[in-house]
């Protein structure tokens, strides 16, 4: 007998449709009104067990600066319970513990990916207990990735302990596939590259042209109080097919077939193509990264907190958002964070002058 899945969510959504009674709960993530971690990056974005990784934090406050010495870094070696909805185990959110490998404090930290990361967080089956069959490997994310977590604890004076999580994508290979599929995957997959903003431009006062903003400019562009401007974040265009000599060591290229690109391999800093193993269809196919941009400001308001391009829209290499300047004059800080869905992160900091 078919047991019907829970209908509660649908029922509540229907309720919302009838009476438009979803309450507005205060708070916008795009408004920086206290010290916050806006992004954490891992360089490289993807690594093998044992690789050295550098973590970086974008930690800001309402006036632009925040005490980065308050950031305490640690790698977490605990895997979350299978049915937990969060990204990492509860044990990671502690100042100290057996599941934590301290990495130091500050705006950045360096650590080595644990040797057993692919067994703890990846597709390699965990070591069986005595007399037991293999443990269950971790499930990959929607891009086929597995991640080593690192936790950041921000000691904010007068505030509760503020935890954040950074992720390093693990290069663990493919689990549960045939040899043929594994070979196909290996040939088509290239480790992720962190994306980067190629530009942030502004259109205002009804003009058609876009004015590019320089990061943390000494002479920022000026907008009027209360003016709505359009901001455009752009990123690199990634080739859909690999060509030797394009400075990108892409799928199908190896050190042997294209030393020019793969001697020091670089990926593309936009929407990269990558090989993906579909766990249900059990086939290997090529996909493109989706790109998300998160917008932050210490004043004014964005129309959207985040914008981006989905995988099906990956050919477009920019995204727009409207920002309404505050009514008061002064300098406004903007932070724009770009992410690809394989876990890569990049950001830029900008400023605007609000004056009449």
Closest contact distance (angstroms) between CB of 34 and other proteins is 10
Q: What is d(CA 309, CA 317) in angstroms, rounded to the nearest whole number?
A: 8
Binding residues for other proteins restricted to 297-336, rule: CB under 8 A: 303-311, 313, 319, 321
Among 62, 68, 93, 112, binds other proteins (CB under 8 A): 93
135 binds other proteins (CB under 8 A): yes
Query: Angle at the Cα of 106 (from 216 to 335), degrees rounded to 5?
Result: 25
131 binds other proteins (CB under 8 A): no
47 binds other proteins (CB under 8 A): no
Strands 291-297 and 330-340: antiparallel
Query: Residue 73: which of 56, 86, 51 has the closest Cα?
Result: 56
Which range binds other proteins by CB under 8 A, 36-44, 205-213, 223-231, 245-253?
36-44
Which range binds other proteins by CB under 8 A, 188-196, 206-214, 233-241, 277-285?
277-285
Give 107 or 311: the residue with its C-beta nearer to other proteins: 311
Binding residues for other proteins restricted to 16-35, rule: CB under 8 A: 16-19, 21-29
Q: What is d(CA 342, CA 41) in angstroms, rounded to the nearest whole number?
A: 12
Spatial neighbors of 278 by CB under 8 A, at least 6 apart, are 284, 285
Among 32, 118, 166, 258, binds other proteins (CB under 8 A): 166
Please classify residue 324 by burial: count the beta carbons closer than 10 Å to its beta carbon, then call 0-12 exposed, 13-18 middle and 19+ buried. Answer: middle
Give 334 or 354: the residue with its C-beta nearer to other proteins: 334
Please classify residue 107 by burial: count the beta carbons closer than 10 Å to its beta carbon, then call 0-12 exposed, 13-18 middle and 19+ buried. Answer: middle
6 binds other proteins (CB under 8 A): yes
Give 128 or 226: the residue with its C-beta nearer to other proteins: 128
Among 95, 104, 239, 279, binds other proteins (CB under 8 A): 279
162 binds other proteins (CB under 8 A): yes
Helix, strand or coil, per DSSP, at residue 13: helix
CB 138 within 8 A of CB 116: no
Binding residues for other proteins restricted to 223-252, rule: CB under 8 A: none
98 binds other proteins (CB under 8 A): no
Cα 140 to Cα 83, 176, 260, 337, distances in angstroms: 14, 11, 32, 24
Give 8 or 356: the residue with its C-beta nearer to other proteins: 8
Among 76, 100, 337, 354, binds other proteins (CB under 8 A): 337
CB 198 within 8 A of CB 273: no
Cα 144 to Cα 119, 276, 354, distances in angstroms: 15, 6, 44
Give 160 or 218: the residue with its C-beta nearer to other proteins: 160
Closest contact distance (angstroms) between CB of 44 and other proteins is 15
CB 55 within 8 A of CB 41: yes
Among 73, 147, 274, 350, binds other proteins (CB under 8 A): 147
Give 18 or 157: the residue with its C-beta nearer to other proteins: 18
Binding residues for other proteins restricted to 179-218, rule: CB under 8 A: 179, 181
45 binds other proteins (CB under 8 A): no
263 binds other proteins (CB under 8 A): no
Give 39 or 325: the residue with its C-beta nearer to other proteins: 39
CB 226 within 8 A of CB 323: no
């Amino acid at each position: 007998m078919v047991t019907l899945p829970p209908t509660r969510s649908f029922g509540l959504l229907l309720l919302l449709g009838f009476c438009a009674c979803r309450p507005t709960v205060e708070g916008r993530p795009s408004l920086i009104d206290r010290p916050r971690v806006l992004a954490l990056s891992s360089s490289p974005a993807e690594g093998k067990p044992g690789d050295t990784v550098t973590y970086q934090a974008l930690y800001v406050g309402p006036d632009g600066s925040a005490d980065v010495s308050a950031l305490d870094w640690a790698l977490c070696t605990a895997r979350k319970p299978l049915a937990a909805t969060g990204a990492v185990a509860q044990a990671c959110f502690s100042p100290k513990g057996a599941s934590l490998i301290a990495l130091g404090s500050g705006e950045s930290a360096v650590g080595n990916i644990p040797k057993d990361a692919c067994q703890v967080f990846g597709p390699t089956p965990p070591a069986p207990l005595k007399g037991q069959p293999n443990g269950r490997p971790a499930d990959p994310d929607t891009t086929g990735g597995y991640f080593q977590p690192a936790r950041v604890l921000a000691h904010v004076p007068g505030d509760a302990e503020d935890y954040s999580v950074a992720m390093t994508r693990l290069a663990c290979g493919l689990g549960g596939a045939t040899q043929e599929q594994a070979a196909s995957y290996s040939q088509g997959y290239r480790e992720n590259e962190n994306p980067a903003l190629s530009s942030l431009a502004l259109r205002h006062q009804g003009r058609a042209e876009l004015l590019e903003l320089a990061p943390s400019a000494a002479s920022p562009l000026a907008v009027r109080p209360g003016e709505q401007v359009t901001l455009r974040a752009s990123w690199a265009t990634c080739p859909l097919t690999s060509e030797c000599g394009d400075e990108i060591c892409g799928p199908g290229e190896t050190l042997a077939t294209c030393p020019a690109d793969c001697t020091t391999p670089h990926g593309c800093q936009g929407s990269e193509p990558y090989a993906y193993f579909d766990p249900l269809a059990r086939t290997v196919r090529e996909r493109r990264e989706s790109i998300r941009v998160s917008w932050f400001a210490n004043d004014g308001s964005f129309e959207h907190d985040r914008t981006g391009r989905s995988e099906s829209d990956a050919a477009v290499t920019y995204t727009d958002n409207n920002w309404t300047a505050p009514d008061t004059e002064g300098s406004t800080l903007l932070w724009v964070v770009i992410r690809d869905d394989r876990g890569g992160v990049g950001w830029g900091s900008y400023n605007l002058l609000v004056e009449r």
